[in-house]
């Protein structure tokens, strides 16, 4: 297939859903006026949960393989949502490679898209004390025409706004970036660095998360303390203190798992902290949805005082190499088949880049997080006090769907 200098970029700004099998002890939330709006999951939703879990942990493992000593934070939903919208324009062996990489079980396009739509609707109404907003848009060079089914699928299932722009105008980039900034509350200031002549399309998925702890940390108890890095050195960072609260803890010889709830407890942050001589690498090697579910099902409720570092981090990564390792290399090659995107065109399309940005801030009140993904396509035993003072893996999750909204590792809080 001939590759011409035409480029389509798909952007996702999201906190990612990748989902766990339900297996966690319940605790009664203190706010009885904030009951979760849960419901049984449909069969196709369960399949999507399984595939999202699988993709999230495989992507995290692949990134850790090359950045094992660095802070890392991704939104699997942002990545998988952007790629699923891209999948709607794929065909042939390219579509099959993307299906396998994203972990989709044999399902129709309608089943895959409908599951994303219904799960997103469920999540955003789950908790009055958690803000979870989502928005989608398609921005295309106005001299091109998109195929109706490609547009309709993204309108129907991702609620996408579709708008043509003059990509030759400097204002086009600002229009897209301002939209991203608005829907992430300013946390992702921009995702499009430039619009080149070969660009055809930008497809944007946006999700923003802000959760208030069920039991907030006491602000006037926050003070500096040493955080021990894996190389043996220490850095002084602000540690928060939760004196009175309840949360879940699981512990064995290798690790401690801490599950801190937000709001009505449907969303939580799960920390996996290595013990003794174990490292983040040791615990991450065995990290999977089934393993995490097992740990949480064996967790006990505790009210022990908790010390947790206060931190903020930003992450940026181009993911084409990672996704190629995960099996969808064809989508980046001149054999790629995205023939279901453009109308009245014989131009061949291929993915040129997948850029991901993510942000998280954890403080005494709760957590704020957002992420952005751009997919470019071209033609062509418990102590009396729990102290989390060493590197750890952490996830932001929702309980009834058991969705992991974000996953990362904190190696250095500074």
* pLDDT given at position 286: 82
256 versus 48: the higher-pLDDT residue is 256
CA distances from 96 to 1, 300, 365 (A): 18, 43, 44
Element (H, E) at 58: helix 43-66
Domain 213-309+381-410: CATH class, spelled out? mainly beta
**83 is written with which tokens?**
């790629």
Distance CA 149, CA 340 (A): 8
Please determine, for residue 386, whether its predicted confidence score (pLDDT) is greater than 60. Answer: yes
CA angle 237, 262, 26 (to 5 degrees): 125
Most confident of 16-30, 171-185, 373-387: 171-185
Chain segment 129-169, per-residue pLDDT in tens:
899 988 888 888 898 899 999 999 999 999 998 999 999 99
CA angle 281, 288, 115 (to 5 degrees): 140
Task: Enumerate the H helices of 88-230 as residue ranges.
Answer: 92-102, 109-124, 148-158, 170-183
Distance CA 392, CA 39 (A): 32
Please determine, for residue 203, whether its predicted confidence score (pLDDT) is greater than 90. Answer: no
User: Rounded mean pLDDT of 357-383?
Assistant: 80
User: Rounded mean pLDDT of 368-374?
Assistant: 87
Domain residue extents for the chain: 43-211+313-360, 213-309+381-410
* pLDDT given at position 381: 41
Distance CA 241, CA 184 (A): 28
User: Rounded mean pLDDT of 193-210?
Assistant: 84
Chain segment 77-119, per-residue pLDDT in tens:
888 888 999 999 999 999 999 999 999 877 899 999 999 999 9
CA 301 from centroid of its chain's CA atoms = 27
Confidence of residue 378 (pLDDT cuts 50, 70, 90): low
Please determine, for residue 241, whether its predicted confidence score (pLDDT) is greater than 80. Answer: yes
* pLDDT given at position 348: 83
Distance CA 274, CA 95 (A): 39
Distance CA 21, CA 61 (A): 19
**Which residues make Cβ contacts (< 8 Å) with residue 412, sequence separation at least 6?**
71, 227, 229, 235, 391
DSSP 164-188: EE-TTSHHHHHHHHHHHHHHTTTSS
What pairing do the DSSP bridges indicate for beta strands 199-212 and 7-13?
parallel
* pLDDT given at position 363: 96
Chain segment 296-313, per-residue pLDDT in tens:
999 999 999 999 999 999
Q: Which CATH architecture has domain 43-211+313-360?
A: 2-Layer Sandwich (3.30)
Write down the mean pLDDT value for the chain.
86
Residue where the block lists tokens 């022990």: 304
End-to-end, the C-alpha distance of the chain in Å comes to 48
Please determine, for residue 321, whether its predicted confidence score (pLDDT) is greater than 60. Answer: yes
* pLDDT given at position 32: 67
Chain segment 1-33, per-residue pLDDT in tens:
333 333 444 444 433 333 333 344 544 445 667
Please determine, for residue 336, whether its predicted confidence score (pLDDT) is greater than 80. Answer: yes
Confidence of residue 347 (pLDDT cuts 50, 70, 90): confident
* pLDDT given at position 377: 61
* pLDDT given at position 48: 86
Q: Are 43-211+313-360 and 213-309+381-410 in the same CATH fold?
A: no
Distance CA 307, CA 297 (A): 23
Residue where the block lists tokens 């706010």: 31
Please determine, for residue 207, whether its predicted confidence score (pLDDT) is greater than 90. Answer: no
């Amino acid at each position: 297939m001939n590759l011409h200098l035409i480029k389509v970029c798909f952007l996702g700004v999201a906190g990612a859903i990748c989902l766990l099998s339900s297996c966690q002890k319940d605790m009664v939330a203190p706010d009885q006026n904030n009951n979760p709006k849960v419901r049984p999951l449909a069969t196709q939703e369960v399949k999507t949960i399984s595939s999202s879990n699988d993709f999230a942990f495989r992507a995290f493992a692949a990134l850790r393989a090359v950045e094992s000593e660095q802070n890392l934070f991704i939104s699997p939903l942002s990545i998988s949502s952007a790629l699923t919208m891209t999948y709607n324009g794929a065909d042939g062996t390219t579509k099959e490679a993307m299906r396998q990489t994203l972990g989709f079980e044999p399902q129709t396009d309608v089943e895959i898209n409908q599951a994303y739509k219904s799960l997103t609707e469920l999540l955003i109404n789950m908790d009055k004390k958690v803000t979870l907003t989502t928005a989608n848009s398609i921005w295309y060079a106005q001299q091109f025409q998109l195929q109706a089914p490609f547009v309709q699928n993204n309108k129907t299932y991702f609620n996408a706004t579709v708008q043509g722009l003059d990509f030759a105008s400097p204002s086009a980039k600002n229009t897209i970036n301002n939209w991203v900034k608005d829907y992430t509350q300013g946390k992702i200031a921009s995702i499009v660095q430039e619009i080149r002549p070969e660009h055809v399309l930008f497809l944007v998925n946006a999700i923003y998360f802000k959760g208030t702890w069920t039991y907030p940390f006491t602000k006037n108890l926050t003070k500096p303390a040493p955080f021990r890095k894996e190389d043996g050195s220490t850095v002084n960072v602000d540690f928060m203190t939760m004196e009175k609260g309840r949360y879940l803890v699981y512990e064995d010889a290798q690790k401690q798992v801490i599950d801190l709830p937000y709001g009505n407890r449907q969303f939580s942050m799960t920390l996996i902290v290595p013990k003794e001589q174990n490292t983040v690498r040791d615990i991450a090697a065995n990290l999977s949805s089934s393993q995490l579910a097992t740990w949480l099902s064996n967790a006990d409720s505790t009210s022990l005082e908790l010390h947790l570092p206060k931190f903020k981090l930003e992450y940026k990564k181009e993911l084409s190499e990672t996704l190629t390792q995960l099996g969808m290399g064809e989508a980046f090659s001149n054999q790629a088949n995205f023939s279901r995107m453009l109308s009245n065109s014989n131009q061949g399309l291929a993915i040129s880049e997948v850029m991901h940005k993510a942000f998280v801030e954890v403080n005494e009140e709760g957590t704020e997080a957002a992420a952005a993904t751009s997919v470019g396509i071209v033609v062509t035993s418990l102590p009396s006090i729990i102290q989390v003072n060493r590197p750890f893996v952490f996830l932001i999750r929702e309980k009834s769907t058991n969705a992991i909204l974000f996953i990362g590792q904190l190696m250095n809080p500074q």
